[in-house]
Amino acid sequence: MLIGILGVAAALAAGHLVAAFIDPNASPFLAVGNAAIDLTPSWLKEFAVSAFGTADKLVLLTVMAVFLLVVAGVAGLLSRRSPIPGTVLAVVLGGAAIGAVFSRTDLGQLATLAPLASLVAGVMTFRRLHAVALRAQEAGNAPDSPERRVFLLGSVGVAAGAGVAGLAGQLIGNRVDVEASRALVTQRLAKYRDQTTAPGADFAQDGTPTYLTSNENFYRIDTALSVPRLRAEDWTLRIHGLVDRELTLTFDDVMGMDLITRTVTMTCVSDDVGGPYISTAPFTGVLLRDLLAKVGVKPGADQVFSTSVDGYTAGSPLGVIMDKGRNAMLAVGMNGEALPPEHGFPARLVVPGLYGYVSATKWVADIELTTFAARTQYWVPRGYSEKAPIKTESRIDSPRGRSSVPAGQVTVAGIAWAQTKGIAKVELQLDGGPWQEADLAAEPTKEAWRMWRRSFDVRPGTHTVVVRATDTTGYTQTEDVVGPVPDGATGLHSVVFTAA
């Protein structure tokens, strides 16, 4: 068992070290994890997000690590008399890693050197330790036998070497000084101020979130197991496809344009009714319609197909991007500073009114003007809709479900959203009674959420409160309960609490 585990450790460390010199995503462990994400069916993805939230990637990596340990140990047991079972396992795992790396659109052929290094290191380590262990066993496996000492020293050496190689790979892979680049960008963004915030935009004292979400608390849902590390100085964006003239922009090119700052609420399609994956921040960037005006969009184009540096793709309707009633942008700043790496530094897309999976490409490196018939974005083959406008929804934030509050005056508070349309009315129903209208906070922009509250006089006992919102088009939330797939959940959020 020890030989099997050490063989896997040596394989992963060698691959991780080699990948550090090529591309961190070529590391076999990460490559297989990314392949697992790509192959995950939508129902399992929704379960993972619902059950583990933003820790879903950590859970995946942990499960993979445990699986490898178990398989390596079993392979070692099966190889007590012959190294063939363990060798076969190493070849199978190495082949899977090579296939995972080869399938990545963001990795070149050179990246296969990393899983090849894993394969060679794993096979050689396993067979070498296996041969020494057999000699020690044939010699009687006495504690003081030379063969046993050689085996123990070899095992310690492999473990230490794997640790050093893995750590070196991590350090080398993180050698790009992203934070220094971010600091320079933050300085350049200092002159831009948000124009869409205003006092009285939240009821945080009554339990709603603050109107603006800090970068640290802004939700993160994406497919990246490792956050791409790219300096602004090295970033470029290619705009091509059905255009009159192709254009490649540097970060300095973008910073030299007319930048705007607008507050936008972003929403994840994976959010269940009443879920947490919604946040608001002021984003600074250049309007996408201004960028597209520079290249000239040819007739027939209907999709803005964006690609991340890690190969992720999204497709936004061209009509939405060009709509002068909303501020779809190539964003470079967030909450007054450069984008955090986990939120897309150096640049990302932000399109108000669309769920993130069709509009919010992080680490964006390529924009192609095309058609929905010609190009298919990442999530569509996995069961999601091509076009996903955010649905009018609302959520109760206070009191929390199953909480206990003092009887008497109880304030119910929360949020509602209908990005680009705006919220006209929020109503509450207590214990099946009549719908009663809530007070609304100020609405600095229709591209962000709106806070609400209402007080009730409640007697001791268990109570249920339900919320619904109506947007400015007159549409009121449906009671029909639908899950996130294919284009966002529906239903009314309710909370059960106890007054004592």
Nearest-angstrom CA–CA distance, 109 and 372: 29
Residue 77 domain flag: yes
Same domain, 163 and 214: no
Q: Show which of 173, 207, 233 is a domain's final residue.
A: 173
- Of the listed ranges 122-126, 225-229, 425-429, the least confidently predicted one is 225-229
Same domain, 211 and 90: no
Same domain, 187 and 97: no
Q: Show which of 382, 410, 431 is a domain's final residue.
A: 382
Residue 448 domain flag: no
Same domain, 134 and 204: no
Between 58 and 283, name the one with better pLDDT. 283
Same domain, 114 and 44: yes
Would you say residue 175 has pLDDT above 80? no
pLDDT for the residue 176: 81
* Beta bridge partners of residue 427, listed in sequence order: 437, 468
Residues 374-399: tens digit of each pLDDT: 999 999 999 999 999 999 999 999 99
Would you say residue 134 has pLDDT above 90? no
* Closest to 215 (Cα-Cα) out of 148, 266, 270: 266
Between the two ends of the chain, the Cα-to-Cα distance in Å is 58
Residue 249 domain flag: yes
The amino acid sitting at 93 is L
pTM assigned to the model: 0.88
- Reported as a pLDDT band with limits 50, 70 and 90, residue 194 is low
Nearest-angstrom CA–CA distance, 42 and 47: 9
What is the arithmetic mean of pLDDT over 460-466? 98
Same domain, 354 and 247: yes
pLDDT for the residue 173: 81
Nearest-angstrom CA–CA distance, 265 and 286: 17
Same domain, 166 and 190: no
pLDDT for the residue 197: 64
Same domain, 287 and 239: yes
Same domain, 125 and 225: no
CA 34 to chain centre: 12
Same domain, 269 and 322: yes
- Reported as a pLDDT band with limits 50, 70 and 90, residue 226 is confident
The domain in which residue 80 lies consists of 2-173
- If one counts the domains in the chain, the total is 2
Residues 143-163: tens digit of each pLDDT: 677 888 888 899 999 999 999
What is the arithmetic mean of pLDDT over 59-73? 91
pLDDT for the residue 195: 58
pLDDT for the residue 141: 63
What are the C-alpha distances in Å from 119 to residues 9, 14, 26, 62, 64? 11, 9, 14, 21, 17
Same domain, 147 and 210: no
Q: Show which of 360, 382, 404 is a domain's final residue.
A: 382
Same domain, 100 and 195: no
On average, the pLDDT of the chain sits at: 93
Residues 468-492: tens digit of each pLDDT: 999 999 999 999 999 999 999 999 9
What is the arithmetic mean of pLDDT over 453-462? 97
Report the share of the chain in percent with pLDDT over 90.
81
CATH number at residue 350: 3.90.420.10
pLDDT for the residue 196: 61
pLDDT for the residue 81: 87
Tally the residues of the chain.
500
